Structure 1
Amino acid sequence: MTSTEPALRHALDRERAHHEHCRTVLAAMVEGAREHVVTGEDVSASGADAEVLGHRLRSRAREMRELPQGPLFFGRLDFAEGEEAGRALHIGRLRITEHPAAPPLVVDWRAPVSRAFYQATAADPRGVAVRRRFGWAPDARGDRADLTGLEDEHLGRGESRAGALVVREIERPRLGPMRDIAATIQPEQDDLVRAGLGDTVCVQGAPGTGKTAVGLHRAAYLLYTHPQRIRRGGLLILGPDPVFLSYIAEVLPALGETGVRQSTLAEEIARHPVTRTDGARTAALKHDARTAEVLRRALYARVDPGAAYDLAVPDGSYRWRVPAGTLARVVADVREEEPPYTVGRERVRARIAAHVREGAERRAGPRTDAWLRRVERSRPVGAALDAVWPRVRPEEVLAPLLTDPDVLARAADGILDADEQRALLRPGPAPRSWRSARWSAADLVLLDEVAGLLGHPEGYGHVVVDEAQDLSPMECRAIARRCAFGSLTVLGDLAQGTTPWAARTWRTTLAHLGRPDAAVTSLTTGFRVPKEVVDLTNRLLARLGVDVPPARSLRGGGELTLRACAPGAVPETVVEAVRHALARDGSVGVVAAGPDVPRLRAALDAAGLPAAGPEHLGARVAVVPASAVKGLEYDHVVAVEPAAIAEAEERGLHRLYVVLTRAVSRLDVVHTRPLPF
């Protein structure tokens, strides 16, 4: 603030008093929501209307009760021009008002008027004279003393800068779950957050650019802007694994949004437990987009117009006849229309019944709908339908493909060569039936594909997909089926693709997601990872074979230490690096190739430095296998033997890139062998 110390104290006292008033009003809002539930129970209405009203009131009351404690505002706008001229608006994570018709005490950060907080500059002030940012103590719960400072930008005087409070918030030590970034959203991030509901957005984000936070804040923005449409269709957050979901779990509740499904794709498609493991080549083939056509052929091979026969449908003492040729033509016509398999079966049933009805009405006059339904559900019609278009489960389609060479050869002819077909077949005797079959993780993706051919799964209004660069074509298709009539936010970094089928271009991934024309936006400016680490990882980036622009960092003051040691001294060197890191604030992540993790944890325990695993997000020290660190961040990372990490898997250099970019303040590299970078 550019005023004298007494003026600053006076301004702080006024803002603290305003915050105290906001807390009182919020408590009244929470109590009012509870009272509305009680009042609503006595409302006289139809059963359906009362149930809808009750659900809405209870949901609102629950949301209000579940709001986490914390500061109620983080910024303020003083307007000099426009519709808000002469007003001062506090910006926070939730609208707070004494009465629905009264001016708000705090404006929701997602409201249109709040956009000026993120977009206004001295060159384009958007009517803002002063933008004020508030400094709150770490882990503030909203107490009066937690408001520790404020900074003003006088945009009307030409001032526009990122002040110390913004920098302090961005660089705050990282301990525990991910925090929201509502107070520090940058203009390019704000553009993505506020993209329209119908827009599918793909964000190519370098490490530390906030792409995950952008996706979560966009979800919160859409829930605020289109509440009925989004809640009716549902909103799904897809993460790569349960640890990552735990890491981001508190962001949306902190923004006032609860009840959003956060899941992994494996959970979404889990028809059976995973009880077998595929070899690398077999798994890659199952994730290959060509397999979709193999499955489609195998399913529709069960449709057989040649199995049609003369059908007699009883109607009292009379029998209505459907000649075999007519039935065969019906099946062939429906097959050419290419409906979902189950829809096609019912379409054949309906056309058989329509043919019978037409003959009956020519002979004896109109027939009722009830009569038509009896014909459709009659035993002879069902038997004929089973002959030409049989019922089938996904497992009944997939199990023969993986165990019978002849079945696979017919379905894969011209798609997979003989060697690829042999790689898909399971070794050993075939199970007696699909009920006794054991399934791999890749098999579940194939089963989901067949289920999608049978009938469309229930979809979502919007899906946010994080770490999307690691999705296979078949996994993309599974997501596309769940968002056929909605939109997507696709987040990832091609340089961090570590699966054998990881994307090398976003256009390929977007095509498999059914959004080939979606806009791709690159975020290259990092706010968390310091320049010293980014400069190192940019040297590795050139070796990864992906078309990704180098990252740049606005954050200096990081530390990079290379610790060379003898092969037998790695545990001791790691212990020394961790002791050094613990002298500073923040979290410490020791990241190594999977086989090295047990001995490093043992060494730290023996040294009196107990370490947790990656699932314990609040731990001060964690030892994490390189395969599990994606999406996580630590203030201080100790990367152990980069050469071993790079050699551990097919895309090991990409994995190493992930490991090195988990450091948001300091990076120690412990090595005995030459460094890959």
Structure 2
Amino acid sequence: MPSHDVSAMPAPAAQDDPLQRERNHLAASRAALTAMRADAEALDITDVTGNWVNREVLAGELERRIAALADLADLPLFFGRLDYLHEIGAEAGAAPADAAGSRFYIGRRHVHDATGDPMVIDWRAPVSQPFYQASPKKPMDVRLRRRFGSAGGELTAYEDEYLTEADPDAPLASALLTAEIERPRIGPMRDIVATIQPEQDEIVRTDVHTDLCVQGAPGTGKTAVGLHRVAYLLYAHRERLARTGTLVVGPNRSFLRYIEQVLPALGELTVAQSTVDELVAHVPVRGTDRAATASVKGDARMAQVLRRAVRSGIRLPEESCVVVRGSRRWRIPGYELAEIVQELMDRDIRYNAARAALPQRIAHAVLVRMEQSGEAPDDRVQDAVARNPAVKAVVKAAWPQVDPVKTVFRLLSDREFLAECAEGLLTAEEQELLLWARPARSPRGAEWSAADAVLVDEARDLLDRTGSLGHVVLDEAQDLSPMQYRAVGRRCTTGSVTVLGDLAQGTTPWSTPSWAEALGHLGKGGARVEELTQGFRVPAEIIDYASRLLPAIAPELAPATSVRAAVGSLTVRQGSDLLAELVAESGSALKQDGSIGLIAADAMLAEIGAALAEAGIAALSPGEETSAEARLTLVPASLAKGLEYDYVVLAEPSAIVAAEPDERTGLRRLYVSLTRAVSGLTVLHARPLPALLA
């Protein structure tokens, strides 16, 4: 396809220069966006609301609207153009460019001029979809698709594809698309609106009611796809999701800091971000569990153990309840009270909802007797009876109040109580693993672990229903335990979910064996599973090398492929002085543009960091933003998941494997570390390589 880079060409007259005309349209679009923001800032909402509550809500909405209209100086407002064969109706939001058909500039947000005519169309609009989906075999009425190259927010080149004139069987090869994918990445993760591929676009535009699971090999863009799906859903269902809320759940704060700028760059500022640990932060986490203990605490059977623990105090009444009102005494026999309690137990509603219903049920039984005696009590009488001391005494004895923290504390510190609740569910050995080695006297002094906090969250939900959001994105999901899945699933019981992960990258002892099982724990057993196997970020030479590990770590998965054949992107070298080799290679990598990640086993970081410092090389920690002055990040292998760097220097693969409790987990950790590079990977080792890589 014809590509035009005029940076080195003499400047022709503006009317004869297509790129200059596009630059003029960009300048006009920027001016229009500035005017849109000024109009929003000038709005006076002082007298348009009836009360201060509505005024505060409207002011908040206006503030978010103004922020969303910010012009990002380092990015052009549009990255592509569509010329249709025929005119698109006015309802599509565009005016015809000429008699031949309509023209649309595709960008990150909608921009219109003073008369309301669109100058840039949001990439999420239906009319923009052919930019991602059209091909010579399926042109979708598109005559011309133009892609733009840019630098520093200015257009530098354009590339044209004449879809209706091209050979349908000829492969499409876009130099600008490749250049955008390979562009050096300094700073946090960028959006991919200019490079979304057809299979990714189909996932992004999946309906809001559909639960989706994306199994994606390294470099297939699953994280970006999940974030862009959120942006698309907020565009297509803004009113609904603004009311119910959206949430992105990541594996750790370093990962969330890396992705946090993607949605704001797309104009979406209201999406919350959290880790699972932050979602369930009901107790202060000060302790850690052994892998075997954490595995039992994360097992789905713990949900039933906790249910028994929460309901352990319920007792069927035996004594009668006598309610005195004036000169009359109303007696409800013990067997009838027991039937009421048993019915509430059998209905399996939340504990506190049943507890609130119990006095009303007893009061209703009293009112039936009143009516049988000729009285005509109303709702006020029933409420009064429900508050009667005799009724309250029955409720307190039969259905006592429960504190979720105290319940879990007792379960983990009281051997007899645990045995009672876990009978038939957990073995004696598993129960022994759950008991705290150093039990505290009270919950306040306990050394709660992250797995304990998940148990507390489950107990809280057994008492009162957890609030549900409209849509939740769960990234790096393969590392969650069944109980963690349940915790996330509670946040989207009435909404939808996008699950993102790669079974081959599971590195916890309780990592997901299959998506069907994981989705069942999440409460989304009917979710659609999509698989992304074509990589765009990781060069073929690197992904082929890493895929040598798949037979040992995930034999059921097909090896990923890559559209990028970057010959020479992989170097594997053995040396006797590993620290000197690492310092030298880091210095060489810094001579190139882009970010560098030096990944090593966690135990090696201090020694490597000291060597880098002695050589005068500054090293960042994961989550710290790279810049032109500081581009090298020292990454522990345990935190590498989800991160990307232009160049990766990987230290001592065998040490990464040996650091894990078993070889399979270690090889999975190594697989993750090997697939973080976008442009080049250098593997340095002094010890022998793992057998599959030798």
Sort the TM-score into its range (normalised by shorter chain): over 0.9
Aligned residues of 2:190 and 2:261 also touching (Cα < 8 A): yes
SS at match of 1:644: helix
Residues 136 and 68 of structure 1: CA distance in aligned 2, closer, same or farther (over 3 Å): closer
2:418 is the alignment partner of 1:408: yes
- 1:505/1:546 contact within 8 Å kept: no
Aligned pairs (5 A) from 1:192-207: 192-207=203-218
Larger displacement relative to structure 2 (486-495 or 408-417):
408-417
Cα distance, 1:583–1:280 mapped onto 2, change above 3 Å? same
Report the TM-score, using the length of structure 1 for normalisation.
0.95
- 1:389 aligned residue: 399
The corresponding residue for 2:330 is: 320
Match of 2:109 among 86, 90, 94: 94
Q: Do the aligned partners of 1:463 and 1:487 also contact (CA within 8 Å) in 2?
A: yes
8 Å CA contact retained: 1:531, 1:553: yes
Contact 2:3 2:175 (C-alpha < 8 Å) held by counterparts: no
Q: 2:524 corresponds to which letter in structure 1? A: R
Letter in 2 for 1:342: N
* Alignment-derived partner of residue 605 in structure 2: 597
Alignment check: 8 A CA contact 1:67 1:253 kept: no
Deviations 1:545-566 (A, max 9, x none): 4421101111122521112112
Give, in whole Å, the separation in 2 of the partners of 1:2 and 1:643.
45
* Structure 1 residue matching 2:492: 3-state secondary structure: coil
Pick one of 84, 105, 118 that aligns with 1:79. Answer: 84
Q: Alignment partner of 1:118: what SS?
A: helix
1:665 counterpart (679, 685, 689): 679
Pairing 1:413-424 to 2, within 5 Å after superposition = 413-424=423-434
Residue 69 of structure 1, CA deviation: 5.8
Correspondence 1:83-482 to 2 at 5 A: 83=88, 86-98=101-113, 102-137=116-151, 140=152, 142=153, 146-158=154-166, 161-305=172-316, 307-363=317-373, 365-428=375-438, 430-482=439-491
- Percent identity for Structure 1 against Structure 2: 48
1:345 is displaced (CA, Å) by 1.1
CA distance in 2, matches of 1:66, 1:104: 16
Contact 1:308/1:384 (8 A) holds in 2: no
Report deviation, 1:314.
3.5
Q: Distance in 2 between matches of 1:444 and 1:312?
A: 42
Deviation at 1:509, TM superposition (A): 0.7
Larger mean CA deviation between 321-330 and 40-49 belongs to 40-49
Map of 1:565 onto structure 2: 575
CA distance in 1, matches of 2:286, 2:327: 55
Letter aligned with residue 589 of structure 1: G
SS of 1:543 mapped into structure 2: helix
Question: Structure 2: how far apart are the matches of 1:361 and 1:635?
Answer: 80
Distance 1:502 1:80 in 2: 51
Letter in 1 for 2:492: C
Q: How many angstroms does 1:65 deviate by? A: 4.6
Alignment length, in residue pairs?
664
- Are 1:194 and 1:221, in contact at CA under 8 Å, matched by a contact in 2? yes
Which moved further from structure 2: 81-90 or 406-415? 81-90
617-626 or 319-328: bigger deviation: 319-328
- Pick closer, same or farther for the CA change 1:603–1:392 going to 2, 3 Å: same
Q: Which amino acid aligns with 2:667?
A: L
Is 2:635 the partner of 1:624?
A: yes
Select 2:654's aligned residue among 636, 640, 643.
643
Tell me if 1:535 matches 2:535: no
Deviation at 1:2, TM superposition (A): 6.5
- Deviation at residue 300 of structure 1 after TM alignment: 1.6
Question: Which letter does structure 2 place at the counterpart of 1:324?
Answer: G
What is the distance in 2 between the residues matched to 1:449 and 1:169?
45
CA RMSD in angstroms comes to 1.9
Instruction: Using the TM superposition, give the Cα deviation of residue 481 of structure 1 relative to its aligned residue in structure 2, in angstroms.
Output: 0.9
Q: Check whether the contact 1:252–1:258 (CA below 8 A) recurs between aligned residues.
A: yes
Q: Could you tell me whether the CA contact under 8 Å between 2:217 and 2:560 is conserved in 1?
A: yes
- The AA in structure 2 aligned to 1:237 is V
Whether the 8 Å contact between 1:239 and 1:262 is mirrored in structure 2 is yes
Residues 246-267 of structure 1 deviation map (CA, whole Å, 9 limit, x = unaligned): 0000000001100110111110
Q: Deviations over 1:63-98 (max 9, x none)?
A: 335867631101000000363561110000111112
1:56 aligns with 2:84: no
State how far apart, in whole Å, the 2-side matches of 1:534 and 1:48 are.
55
Q: Which runs of 5+ in 1 are unaligned?
A: none
Structure 1: distance between partners of 2:398 and 2:239? 43
> Kindly tell me: are residues 455 and 66 of structure 1, through their superposed partners in 2, closer, same or farther at Cα, counting changes over 3 Å?
farther
Q: Is the 8 Å Cα contact of residues 68 and 254 (structure 1) preserved in structure 2? A: no
Given residue 671 of structure 1, which amino acid in structure 2 is its aligned partner? H
CA deviations over 1:90-115 (Å, ceiling 9, x no partner) = 0001111125x733111000000000
Q: What SS is found at the alignment partner of 1:320?
A: strand
| TM-aligned CA distance change 1:301 to 1:66, over 3 Å | farther
- Report the CA distance shift for 1:324/1:546 in structure 2 as closer, same or farther (over 3 A): farther
- Matched with 1:29 is 36
Q: Give 1:488's aligned amino acid.
A: V
Asked if structure 2 preserves the Cα contact closer than 8 Å seen for 1:504 and 1:546, the reply is no
Letter in 1 for 2:368: E
Deviates more, 1:354-363 or 1:596-605: 354-363
2-side partners of 1:541 and 1:580: how far apart?
31
3-state secondary structure, aligned to 2:419: helix
**CA offset at residue 149 of structure 1?**
0.8
How far apart, CA to CA, are the structure 1 residues paired with 2:193 and 2:382?
59
Deviations 1:261-310 (A, max 9, x none): 011111011001111221221111000111111111122222111x4422
8 Å CA contact 2:654–2:687 kept in 1: the answer is yes
Q: CA deviation at 1:238?
A: 0.2
SS in 1 for 2:531: strand
Query: Does the 8 Å contact 1:67/1:256 carry over to 2?
Result: no
**Which range is displaced more, 235-244 or 54-63?**
54-63
SS in 2 for 1:675: coil
User: Contact conserved, 1:68 with 1:253, CA < 8 A, in 2?
Assistant: no
Residues 633 and 664 of structure 1 are in contact (CA less than 8 Å); yes or no, is this contact kept in structure 2? yes
Instruction: State the TM-score, normalizing by the size of structure 2.
Output: 0.92
Q: CA deviation at 1:49?
A: 5.2
Moved more, 69-78 or 441-450: 69-78
Number of the residue aligned with 2:19: 12
- Alignment-derived partner of residue 669 in structure 2: 655
2-structure distance, mates of 1:258, 1:504: 35
Check 1:316–1:70 CA distance in 2 against 1; reply closer, same or farther (3 A cut).
Answer: farther
**Structure 1: how far apart are the matches of 2:556 and 2:87?**
44
How big is the shift at 1:47?
5.9
Q: What amino acid is the match of 2:485?
A: C
Deviation, 1:595, is 1.1
Runs of 5+ unmatched residues, structure 2: 90-99
Compute the displacement of 1:477 (Å).
0.6
User: What CA distance in whole angstroms lies between the structure 2 residues aligned with 1:325 and 1:90?
Assistant: 75
